[in-house]
C-alpha cells in the first residue's frame, strides 16, 4: 500500500473517468439502436432526457457516473484534510483504500446487475468508511 493518503483519491478520480468512458461506450450504441441522432436534437437537451428512451442497462452507467461525482467529493476533501493535518496513518490509509475498492465494486455492480439490496449494502459500507475518515479528520484538524 502506498504511503500517500492521496493515492486512493487519485485512483478514484481515474476510476470516475473510466466510468465516463464506459458510459459513453454504452450510451452511444444505445442511442443509435433507438434511432436518436444527436446532431438533430433540440438545444438544451440533457442526459436525463434519455431515461425513458434508452434501456435501463444503458442508463445505469450514467447513474453511477453521477454518483461518483456526488459523495466522493466529500472523500476527496477529507483525505486532503487528513493529509495536510498530519492525519495519515495506517488506519486512515486502510479506510481510504477500502472506500475506493468498495466504490469500484459498487460501480461494477450498479452498471451490470444493479440489484438494490447489494448496491445499498456496498453504498452503506463505503459510507461508514467515509464517516470514520471524517471523524478522524476532525480529530486531526482540531488536535
Instruction: Report the pLDDT averaged over residues 70-80.
Output: 98
> Which percentage of the chain shows pLDDT scores above 90?
76
pTM, two decimal places: 0.91
Q: Is the per-residue pLDDT at 97 higher than 70? A: yes
> What topology does CATH give the domain 6-142?
1.20.120
**Which positions ≥6 away from 56 have C-beta within 8 Å?**
114
**pLDDT average, residue stretch 20-30:** 93
Q: Where do the structural domains in the chain lie, given as residue ranges? A: 6-142
Q: Please give the mean pLDDT across all residues of the chain.
A: 93
- What's the whole-number mean pLDDT along residues 22-42? 83
Amino acid at each position: 500500500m502506498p504511503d500517500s493518503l492521496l493515492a486512493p483519491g487519485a485512483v478514484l478520480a481515474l476510476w470516475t473517468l473510466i466510468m465516463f468512458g464506459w458510459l459513453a461506450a454504452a450510451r452511444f450504441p444505445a442511442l443509435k439502436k433507438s434511432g436518436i441522432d444527436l446532431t438533430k436534437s433540440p438545444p438544451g437537451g440533457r442526459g436525463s432526457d434519455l431515461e425513458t428512451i434508452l434501456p435501463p442497462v444503458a442508463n445505469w452507467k450514467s447513474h453511477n457516473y453521477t454518483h461518483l461525482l456526488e459523495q466522493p467529493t466529500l472523500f476527496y476533501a477529507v483525505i486532503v484534510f487528513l493529509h495536510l493535518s498530519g492525519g495519515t496513518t495506517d488506519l486512515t490509509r486502510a479506510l481510504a483504500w477500502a472506500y475506493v475498492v468498495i466504490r469500484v465494486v459498487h460501480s461494477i455492480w450498479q452498471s451490470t446487475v444493479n440489484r438494490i439490496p447489494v448496491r445499498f449494502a456496498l453504498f452503506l459500507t463505503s459510507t461508514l468508511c467515509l464517516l470514520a475518515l471524517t471523524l478522524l479528520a476532525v480529530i486531526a484538524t482540531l488536535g
